[in-house]
Structure 1
Amino acid sequence: MTNHLSRVLVCLLLMLGTSFAHAAAEVKEWNFLVFLNGINSLDSFGSQNINQMEEIGSNNKMNILVEWGSEASTNVSRLLIKKDNDTTKVTSPVVQNLGAADMGDYKELIRFVDWANQNYPAKHYFIVVWDHGNGWHFTSSDNTATHIQDISWDDHSGNNMTTEQLALAMAESAKIIGHKVDIYASDACMMGMVEVASEMQDSVNYFVGSQDVEPGAGWPYNVFLGKWASQIDSLSPAQVATLLSKEYTAAYNGGIYGKRPVTMAAYDLSQIGTYEAAFKQLATQLNSLSAADITKAQTAAGNTKYFTNWDYRDAVDFLAQLEKGGVKASSFSTLRSAQNKFVMSNDQTQDKNTYGVSVWIPTDSSDYDPYSSRYEGLRFNKDTGWGSFVQKLIKK
């Protein structure tokens, strides 16, 4: 009798263990993964944004997972975001303590995605890199390559991710999850550039980024996640990317963050081949301009809407400025048509010269010389030959 009861208990325990394992491996519809690098001057906004996420919390359709690095802590933690009513304190459980992980290392981002996939699998993945950003190249006041670069600046390690490394992280993430990353987005400044999007076109379906500087408060996570969660069964990945762009802009257009000039756009990377082909045609035609028209193009470039960095210019506004200066080419309409398909949602509270995509257009040697060699290796330049035209713009 005792042996029989023991066997029954063992069977029950085995069944319960199997049940628990099944529950742990439950495949949800979405993973919302936030690589939140607050190991820098943005630290205070990190906890603010996590508290916003906690207003919504993970649910039976979506895991909200955060890898959180803080300037105030020597430990990097992974959190499973749980709903709570405390908007001043992060209460979500730490499910893994990583110690002094390097949030400026793109391989750490890959490890985060791999860990999420193994422990909290999902059908769809939305990957966010949260931190300072500076488009595809570094900030340099003395024309050297010694200053902060691209995205995810870790002040403890002194490292950051380059645009090329970010693309490697997305490529590895796609391999890990077995399909393209559904959405990649930067909660960071000035990442809405064709050069950045181009690098990850083989591994990401939809891309969201801002042409301009983002205010420190960043995204309205509570509003965005709340609206997404309420429609999660009906929204496609493209619609989720568009929702983020629109809710971010609304937050700074009289919404929860008041009134601030901001930009955000969502790109359909399945259209980037056509977009790059249009840029290639444009570069070819502009390369054949007369000396007089090159001078006009130089003036047009200087008049084109820029975003913080003088050499980050709005692609479509450049066409408008060329036309105003008397330069004409059949490729202008081709590029505008391609951009209309590439940009799913262009949302901004600035002026009418903001069309959603920035491109590198330096106008003097101080903007060109430090970056020209690296630009040659970017996929966008290889696909379009844009760098050869840019070189002609530089006033000697």
Structure 2
Amino acid sequence: MKKKLYFIIGIFFIIILPGCTQTNTKSQNQTWTILVYMNGSNLEMTSAAATNDLREMLYSGSNDNVNVIVQTGGSLYWHNYYVDEDRSQRWYVGRFKMDELYNGELKNMAQADTLSDFLIWGINNYKADHYAVILWNHGGGAIAGFGLDETTNGDTLILSEMKNAFDKTKKDTGITFDLVAFDACLMSNIETAYVLSPYSKYMAASEGLISEMGYAYDVFLNDAKNNTDKDGQFMGKSLIDSYIYEADRKGSVASS
């Protein structure tokens, strides 16, 4: 498995997943849909980490070629006036404006069906040439999996459930993602890469602990909008580079 290594403090990898073929896109007017699965958990309740990242997304926002779609949930309290901790919500992130697309009964963000429903809905409603998924929350590696839904006493999405979610998404849509990225600790491991290999061309993740500041979404989205002709590897590297930028901007790369 070919991989490019970036040292930060937590170590990020861009991994070419072997189950999918690699293509080079030459058209300058490609479109992207970026689906952000934001499980706020205690990262939002205690330090407004999700709200801070939503604010960064708003600084850049979507345009005609890049759709930024977010599902929120999983936290007992949100530090903003638009996200309701008692509801599952989906958002179109524009520049300095979030449009609510869906407001439904609160769902467990650590269940496969919740993830697959969002991915299928996003693909069907925001057609594009390329698709990326960003999974936002805690990461527990191969054993604990991804995410911690605070509204369910800490349920997590284990790897078998993650596989079920992506498998259902591919069967229903026929889409292979260009990139699956984790804004989470400990998800760069062979087990996660193996699980995702039939469903995505690239994976970006950290094998270690990372700061809760995560990616610099304003920087990444500006880069994405200026490079829509690029592939999932470029977008994954852009996310990782934005983490380095965020560390410089906030004066720390310390992980805890």
Greater fraction strand: 2
Corresponding position of 2:71: 67
Higher Cα radius of gyration: 1
**Is 1:154 aligned to 2:149, yes or no?**
yes
- Do structure 1's residue 121 and structure 2's residue 123 form an aligned pair? no
Residue type of the partner of 1:54? L
Could you tell me how far apart the structure 2 residues matched to 1:40 and 1:260 are?
A: 21
8 Å CA contact 2:136–2:147 kept in 1: the answer is yes
User: Alpha-carbon deviation of 1:216?
Assistant: 1.3
What amino acid is aligned across from residue 205 of structure 2 in structure 1? G
Asked if the contact 1:132/1:189 (under 8 Å) is kept, the reply is: yes
Distance between the aligned counterparts of 1:39 and 1:30, measured in 2?
27
Q: Following superposition, which runs of at least 4 residues in structure 1 exceed 3 angstroms of deviation?
A: none
- Tell whether 2:178 aligns with 1:176: no
- Would you say 1:52 and 2:43 are equivalent positions? no
- 1:102, distance to aligned residue in structure 2 (A): 1.1
Check the 8 A contact 1:171/1:200 in 2, yes or no: no
User: Secondary structure at 1:207's aligned position in 2?
Assistant: strand
C-alpha displacement at 1:261, in angstroms? 4.0
Instruction: Using the TM superposition, give the Cα deviation of residue 106 of structure 1 relative to its aligned residue in structure 2, in angstroms.
Output: 1.7
User: 1:229 deviation in Å?
Assistant: 1.1
Normalised by the size of structure 1, how large is the TM-score? 0.52
- 1:37: which partner in 2? 39
Q: Give the gaps of 5 or more residues in structure 1.
A: 1-27, 85-90, 138-148, 263-307, 309-396
Contact 1:117–1:176 under 8 Å retained in 2: no
Q: Which has the higher contact order (CA 8 A, sep 6+)?
A: 2
Partner of 1:99: 105
Paired position in structure 2 for 1:239? 234
- Pair 1:257-2:250 in alignment: yes
**1:129 match: secondary structure:** strand
Deviation at 1:45, TM superposition (A): 0.9
Alignment of 1:208 with 2:204, yes or no, is yes
Q: How many residues align?
A: 216
Q: For the residues of structure 1 that align with 2:225 and 2:215, how far apart are their CA atoms?
A: 16
Q: 2:210·2:254 contact (CA, 8 Å) conserved in 1?
A: no
Question: Deviations for 1:336-379, whole angstroms, at most 9, x for unmatched residues?
Answer: xxxxxxxxxxxxxxxxxxxxxxxxxxxxxxxxxxxxxxxxxxxx
Q: Quote the offset at 1:184 in angstroms.
A: 0.5
CA distance in 1, matches of 2:125, 2:195: 28
Higher fraction of helix:
1
CA positional deviation for 1:176: 3.3
Structure 2 residues not aligned, in runs of 5+:
1-29, 78-84
1: CA distance, partners of 2:175 / 2:123: 12
- TM-superposed deviation, 1:82: 0.9
Q: Which shifted more, 97-106 or 170-179?
A: 170-179
Question: Could you tell me which of 73, 89, 112 is aligned with 2:118?
Answer: 112
Check conservation: 1:42, 1:131, Cα contact below 8 A: no
SS of match in other structure, 1:54: helix
The amino acid across from 1:208 in the alignment is A
